[in-house]
């Protein structure tokens, strides 16, 4: 039964992805400026013949309806077209940029959860203590701080003044690492290149901490409030009255149930992290999808923007699906 | 019969009476309100409060440190930027952009979101299905990328910036209003109003709306901070207002290159953003505690 419900849930993603494709296609076509002029403008003076040939190559001379159908039919096959500006398949460009973005988002999530969950739990257990007030004050500040400013301040303090971390990029120039998966940390482990692993980690910490700061603040607050609710439940009182150690009751019984709202928030925020990290990527010179999209929007490189937005939307939809799956694990009473 | 339906006292009226008084006793909301009031006051009185013309550059005085630091330029108490413009004056004028864009984007998200949410939750059926699917669709777009795309299409400008934020911003208000309307519609008082012959519009406007609007108002205050950060992010990326107008995000971007030698160029506009967003969020939290005890943050 669950499999049927899940299959239905997966199928609902199809009309959403179709709608996303239509919206992104329409918005991109509303942009002022002819992409062919922009591309050939970069290459220097071009004849009318060159312009026409390029328009034909990219089907820009066809009616908009036909262009849209071609794009959707291609996307369904995994063919996202060719980049106008770089004359390369968009799919290949996204595959190259995606690992950097995912690595950064995952590291940010890990840092955020590793700090936020214990902080949220302890804040609830020691409610109204100085620890609680300090943690929630910090969380409130974290929610209110724009990532680009936090990034600049972090670079200034930790990279420039203290010299603990590099200011930008994924690896130092002198460190050589052949890309296998595109994930620097994974590739360096696979190649047993420990110098590259250490260098990759040093490059990752600062942008991941800045990107994760907002999530950390949100998760700590959600964790605290759901933990406070759970601690008042009868089964917690029962576990305590049975003589179970306080630590066991908190970390095993209460925390597992308090995690349910946290999973929802993390799932929804993962999509936000992936989509919103272009700011952090720009500040830290991180060669991921965010930078690729911003550059493509300025170059009117329709296929790249379309492909990237489809990928972002797909990630968001899948993250929602993953949240539902986590529900089943955390609380088997929940039927989707 | 409609007269009797009208006699059923809407909860919102009673709730509204003491809201301001209770908010005035909420310490963090008071702090937030004072900070916002000071910033709004400075922004409104910018021509009087700003000591210099925010656009006037003076290249011989470029990157001058704040007046209270060694080597600081007299009169420029937060220093000058790379074109010799007074940072304090630009922060005061930039506050107009952040406050107005944040407020306008919130109103233009809240009003349609609330109306459509009421309609979807009350009439259900095809209206609800169509609006809910469209909202889900927009949810799949990252807000910043969506706003960048819209800004690229519309070009720089105040209203374009507001529209870029509100195009997707209404979705959250819609979802909350729809959920609340669904829940309120099944209450006995709505059934009673129906039985007494009240029209759909009357039930919505007179009974359901006053009982659920507080959630949207709380969300609106909390979302305003989000819109201010989004506006600053767009300005930071060069996708906000035309470059000649001072905006806090673009001021932070201006100072990035000179952060090592002139830290004040980025730091003070960044702090202004943090203070304003923090203050708006404090008001939002206070409003939530006062209006919606179910959501109270313990």
Chain B contact present for A145, CB below 8 A: yes
Mean pLDDT of A223-234: 85
Count of C-beta atoms within a 10 Å radius of residue A169:
14
For residue B7, the model assigns a pLDDT of: 45
Tell me the pLDDT band of A1, cut-offs 50, 70 and 90: low
Chain B contact present for A121, CB below 8 A: no
Mean pLDDT of A130-142: 91
Of residues B271 and B3, more confidence is placed in B271
Chain A contact present for B27, CB below 8 A: no
**Nearest-5° angle of CA A132, CA A137, CA A140?**
125
Tell me the pLDDT band of B247, cut-offs 50, 70 and 90: very high
Interchain pair B133, A275: CB under 8 A: no
Q: Is A178 helix (H, G, I), strand (E, B) or coil?
A: coil
The rounded distance, in Å, linking the Cα atoms of B269 and B85 is 13
Compute the half-sphere exposure of residue B225: CA atoms within 13 Å on the CB side of its CA.
Answer: 26
For residue B274, the model assigns a pLDDT of: 95
Query: Nearest-CA distance from A192 to chain B in Å?
Result: 37
Chain B contact present for A214, CB below 8 A: no
Partners of B252 on chain A (C-beta within 8 Å) are: 148-149, 152
Chain B contact present for A144, CB below 8 A: yes
Chain A contact present for B297, CB below 8 A: yes
Interchain pair B142, A272: CB under 8 A: yes
Question: What's the pTM?
Answer: 0.85
Question: Cα dist. A268→A259, A263, B82, B142 in Å?
Answer: 14, 9, 40, 11
Interchain pair A312, B141: CB under 8 A: yes
Point out the least confidently predicted range of A263-272, B114-123, B165-174, B246-255: A263-272
Q: Which residue of B has its CA nearest to A273?
A: B142
Q: Which residue of B has its CA nearest to A19?
A: B137
The per-residue pLDDT for range B141-197, each reduced to its tens digit, is: 888 888 888 888 888 889 999 999 999 999 999 988 998 898 888 888 888 998 998
Tell me the pLDDT band of A198, cut-offs 50, 70 and 90: very high
Partners of B281 on chain A (C-beta within 8 Å) are: 140, 143-144
Those residues whose C-beta lies under 8 Å from the C-beta of residue B50, and which sit 6 or more positions away, are B86, B88, B89, B92, B93
Query: Nearest-CA distance from B153 to chain A in Å?
Result: 4
List all residues of chain A from 16 to 45 with a beta carbon under 8 Å from chain B: 16-17, 19-20, 23-24, 27-28, 30-32
Please name which of B220, B237, B198, B38 lies closest in space to residue B117, comparing C-alpha atoms. Answer: B220
DSSP per position, B132-190 = HHHHHHHHTS-HHHHHHHHHHHH-S-HHHHHHHHHHHHHHHHHHHHHHHHHHHHTSHHH
Count of C-beta atoms within a 10 Å radius of residue A143:
22
Of the candidates B141, B225, B256, the beta carbon closest to that of A20 is on B141
Token digits for A182? 């595109």
DSSP per position, A87-128 = -SBHHHHHHHHHHHHHHHHHHHHHHHHHHHHHHHHHHHHTTT
DSSP A82: B
Q: In this model, does residue B248 exceed pLDDT 90?
A: yes
Tell me the pLDDT band of A45, cut-offs 50, 70 and 90: low
The per-residue pLDDT for range B69-109, each reduced to its tens digit, is: 888 888 898 999 999 999 999 999 999 999 999 999 999 99
Please name which of B282, B100, B61, B6 lies closest in space to residue A141, comparing C-alpha atoms. Answer: B282
Highest mean pLDDT among A185-189, A300-304, B203-207: A185-189
Interchain pair A278, B144: CB under 8 A: yes
Q: In this model, does residue B298 exceed pLDDT 60?
A: no
Mean pLDDT of B195-213: 88
Count of C-beta atoms within a 10 Å radius of residue A231:
19
Q: Is A171 helix (H, G, I), strand (E, B) or coil?
A: coil
Mean pLDDT of A214-220: 90
Q: How far is CA B240 from the centre of its chain?
A: 16
Mean pLDDT of A167-193: 91
Contact (Cβ atoms closer than 8 angstroms) between residue B105 and residue B231: yes
Of residues B262 and A17, more confidence is placed in B262
The rounded distance, in Å, linking the Cα atoms of B142 and B158 is 21
The rounded distance, in Å, linking the Cα atoms of A123 and B82 is 45
Q: In this model, does residue A305 exceed pLDDT 60?
A: yes
Token digits for B27? 């310490």
Tell me the pLDDT band of A42, cut-offs 50, 70 and 90: low
Query: Nearest-CA distance from B48 to chain A in Å?
Result: 29
For residue B17, the model assigns a pLDDT of: 57
Q: Which residue of B has its CA nearest to A318?
A: B140
Contact (Cβ atoms closer than 8 angstroms) between residue A293 and residue A300: no
Chain A contact present for B35, CB below 8 A: no
Partners of B259 on chain A (C-beta within 8 Å) are: 152, 155-156, 160
Q: In this model, does residue A6 exceed pLDDT 80?
A: no
Tell me the pLDDT band of A86, cut-offs 50, 70 and 90: confident
Interchain pair A297, B148: CB under 8 A: yes
User: Counting Cβ atoms within 10 Å, is residue A314 exposed (0-12), middle (13-18) or buried (19+)?
Assistant: middle
Complex ipTM more than 0.85, yes or no: no
Interchain pair B142, A317: CB under 8 A: no
Q: In this model, does residue A333 exceed pLDDT 70?
A: no
Chain A contact present for B20, CB below 8 A: no
Interface test with B, best of A123, A144, A270 (most B CBs within 10 A): A144
For residue A336, the model assigns a pLDDT of: 47
């Amino acid at each position: 039964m669950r499999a049927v419900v899940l299959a239905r849930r997966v199928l609902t993603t199809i009309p959403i992805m179709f709608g996303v494709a239509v919206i992104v296609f329409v918005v991109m076509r509303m942009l002022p400026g002819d992409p062919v002029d922009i591309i050939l403008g970069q290459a220097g003076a071009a004849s009318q013949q060159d312009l026409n040939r390029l328009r034909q190559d990219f089907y820009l001379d066809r009616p908009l309806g036909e262009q849209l159908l071609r794009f959707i039919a291609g996307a369904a096959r995994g063919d996202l077209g060719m980049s106008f500006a770089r004359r390369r398949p968009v799919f290949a460009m996204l595959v190259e940029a995606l690992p950097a973005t995912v690595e950064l988002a995952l590291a940010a999530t890990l840092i955020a959860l590793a700090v936020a969950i214990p902080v949220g739990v302890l804040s609830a257990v020691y409610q109204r203590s100085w620890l609680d007030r300090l943690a929630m004050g910090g969380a409130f500040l974290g929610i209110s701080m724009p990532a680009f400013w936090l990034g600049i301040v972090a670079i200034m303090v930790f990279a420039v003044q203290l010299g603990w971390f590099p200011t930008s990029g994924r690896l130092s120039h002198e460190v050589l690492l052949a890309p296998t998966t595109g994930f620097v940390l994974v590739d360096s482990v696979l190649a047993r290149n420990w110098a590259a692993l250490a260098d990759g980690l040093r490059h990752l910490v600062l942008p991941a901490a800045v990107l994760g700061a907002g999530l950390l603040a949100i998760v700590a607050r959600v964790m605290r409030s759901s933990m406070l609710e759970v601690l008042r439940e009868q089964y917690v009182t029962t576990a305590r009255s049975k003589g179970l150690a306080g630590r066991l009751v908190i970390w095993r019984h209460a925390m597992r149930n308090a995690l349910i709202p946290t999973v929802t928030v993390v799932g929804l925020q993962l999509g936000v992290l992936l989509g919103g990290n272009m700011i952090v990527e720009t500040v830290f010179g991180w060669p991921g999808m965010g930078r690729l999209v911003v550059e493509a929007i300025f170059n009117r490189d329709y296929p790249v923007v379309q492909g990237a937005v489809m990928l972002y939307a797909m990630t968001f939809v899948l993250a929602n699906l993953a949240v539902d799956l986590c529900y089943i694990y955390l609380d088997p009473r929940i039927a989707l | 019969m409609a007269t009797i339906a009208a006699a059923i006292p809407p909860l919102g009226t009673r709730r509204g009476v003491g809201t301001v008084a209770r908010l005035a006793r909420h310490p963090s909301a008071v702090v937030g309100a004072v900070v916002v009031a000071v910033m709004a006051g400075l922004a409104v009185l910018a021509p009087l409060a700003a000591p210099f013309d925010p656009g006037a550059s003076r290249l011989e005085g470029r990157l001058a440190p704040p007046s209270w630091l060694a080597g600081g330029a007299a009169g420029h108490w937060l220093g000058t930027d790379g074109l010799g413009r007074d940072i304090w004056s630009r922060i005061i004028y930039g506050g107009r952009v952040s406050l107005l864009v944040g407020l306008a984007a919130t109103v233009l998200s809240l009003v349609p979101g609330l109306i459509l949410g009421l309609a979807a939750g009350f009439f259900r059926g095809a209206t609800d299905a169509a609006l809910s699917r469209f909202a889900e669709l927009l949810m799949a777009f990252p807000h910043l990328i969506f706003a960048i795309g819209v800004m690229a299409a519309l070009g720089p400008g105040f209203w374009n910036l507001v529209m870029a934020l509100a195009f997707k911003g209404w979705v959250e208000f819609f979802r909350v209003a729809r959920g609340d309307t669904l829940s309120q519609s099944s209450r006995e008082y709505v059934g009673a109003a129906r039985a007494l012959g009240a029209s759909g519009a009357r039930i919505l406007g007179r009974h359901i709306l006053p009982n659920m609007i507080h959630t949207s108002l709380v969300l609106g205050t909390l979302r305003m901070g989000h819109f201010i950060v989004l506006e600053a992010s767009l300005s930071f990326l060069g996708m906000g207002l035309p470059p000649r107008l001072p905006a806090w995000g673009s001021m932070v971007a201006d100072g990035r290159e000179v952060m090592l030698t002139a830290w004040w160029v980025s730091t003070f506009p960044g702090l202004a953003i943090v203070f304003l967003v923090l203050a708006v969020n404090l008001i939002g939290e206070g409003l939530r505690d006062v209006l919606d005890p179910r959501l109270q943050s313990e």
